[in-house]
Chains A and B, each alone.
Chain A
Amino acid sequence: DVKVTQSSRYLVKRTGEKVFLECVQDMDHENMFWYRQDPGLGLRLIYFSYDVKMKEKGDIPEGYSVSREKKERFSLILESASTNQTSMYLCASLGFGFYNEQFFGPGTRLTVL
């Protein structure tokens, strides 16, 4: 059974803290994605990576960075968390090819106080 796992389901942090969200996939997929999900706004792409050490900005990269040192792991970093980054964060992976679908992790609900 294919799997995308995220390090935490729920996380509470304070303003100004550095926050790491980890995502691991076991499907040997080339592409990995980080989205944030907010009510009424759907999924918005933060960053994606199409290979190890490669990354592309999505629609809302400000305030975030990413790291992909190994193929199976994609980390999202909030350098200095702010209250407007309180959200649900979803990780996804995608194999090579046009017909494939993304596989999603269970999400991390982050609250920044």
Chain B
Amino acid sequence: AQSVTQLGSHVSVSEGALVLLRCNYSSSVPPYLFWYVQYPNQGLQLLLKYTTGATLVKGINGFEAEFKKSETSFHLTKPSAHMSDAAEYFCAVSGNTGNQFYFGTGTSLTVIP
């Protein structure tokens, strides 16, 4: 069975500082991994996804994530935080049937001016 763990339910960074949101997964099959962002009172939108190939994945708004199979991790980073990055971030892994997703509990990012 697949599962996702996001370390840190709340993360605060200063504007301009590095953003690092952690995600570890467990999967018995090659995983397909996703990061979603949710702005207040909105649905989730895709930031980036890893399927196969290059392990460093670039997404929208300057975010990127690196798939590390040996560490079963898919951490999300952004070199320089912007006020508009304040949101909830969810890591997800898709199941081996292709139509089931497993979400982490989310990390709320606060950006301090």
Contact = CB atoms under 8 A, between A and B. Distances in A.
Interface in B4-42: 9, 32, 34, 36, 41-42
Q: What class of interface size applies to chain B in its complex with A?
A: 20 to 34
Contacts of B105: 40-42
A90 B99 contact: no
B44 A90 contact: yes
B32 A98 contact: yes
A106 B42 contact: yes
B72 interface: no
B45 interface: yes
18 contacts: A30-B99, A31-B99, A40-B105, A42-B106, A43-B90, A43-B103, A94-B99, A94-B101, A98-B32, A98-B51, A99-B49, A101-B46, A101-B49, A102-B101, A104-B43, A106-B41, A106-B42, A109-B41
Interface in B79-113: 90, 94, 98-101, 103-106
